[in-house]
Structure formats: structure tokens, C-alpha cells
Amino acid sequence: MTEGRRWYDKDPVLKEALELLRLQTDETKAEAADYILKLQEQVAADVIEHLYETVSKYQGKGNRWYDNDPVMMKAIEMLRLAPPKMQRIAALKLLLALEQKSAEHLDDSK
């Protein structure tokens, strides 16, 4: 994929968080989606309306890795529409949580 083509490629932390999220189990993705959706409380109503229009348009029809999961799609779109500062904070928290989850999985496999 061409560098910078996706909306999240502009921020290396956000890019890394979403790439790592893409590789997680469905359970971990669901937990991450729940976390990201909590951003909804901090985003204006017009952004929420745009979010639902986008989800309705692409759900199950898009080529992105998250288009076939309605909850994940909503979560990622919420993140995309959030202000850059909020995106970065969410990405950092997501990276920490995913790294912790990976470390726990490694400990469980012993």
C-alpha cells in the first residue's frame, strides 16, 4: 500500500496502533472497539451523524480490514473523525493495552 494513502498513515503512532490492532484476535479487537467507542462521549453530534452515514455506506462493502465488522468499523471511523490530539492519545493507550495483552498471552503459553 502506498505510504500516506490511508488517513492514519500521517501519524506514526496511530498507524502502528491500527496495524497492530488489525493483527489481534477477535476478542481483543472487540475490547479495543469498546474503548475507542468511548470517544463518542467527547465528539460533537455533527461528527456522530457523519459517522453513521459512513458506516451505512461502507458496512460489509468496503475493502478495508475493518469494514466487515460493524462494531470495529464504527470504532475506527470514530477514531478517524476525532481531533488529531485525541487520535494520538487513543493510539498510545491502545498500543499500551495491546502490548500488555500480547505479554499476557506469552506468559500464558508457558
Q: What distances in angstroms separate CA 58 from CA 7, 13, 54, 84, 109, one per listed residue?
A: 16, 25, 6, 23, 38
Across 31-59, average pLDDT: 75
Residue 47 falls inside a structural domain: yes
Range of the domain at 69: 8-108
In a domain, 1, yes or no: no
Q: Which of 91, 103, 82, 80 is nearest to 32 (CA)?
A: 91
pLDDT confidence bin for 46, thresholds 50/70/90: low
CB 18 within 8 A of CB 9: no
| Widest distance between CA atoms in the chain | 49
Predicted TM-score (pTM) above 0.85: no
Per the domain annotation, does 2 fall within a domain?
A: no
pLDDT at residue 4, as a whole number: 55
In this predicted model, what pLDDT tens digit does every residue of 2-39 receive, in sequence order?
455 888 898 899 899 999 999 999 999 988 888 888 77
Short-list 29, 28, 15, 5, CA closest to 92:
15
The mean of the pLDDT values for the chain is 80
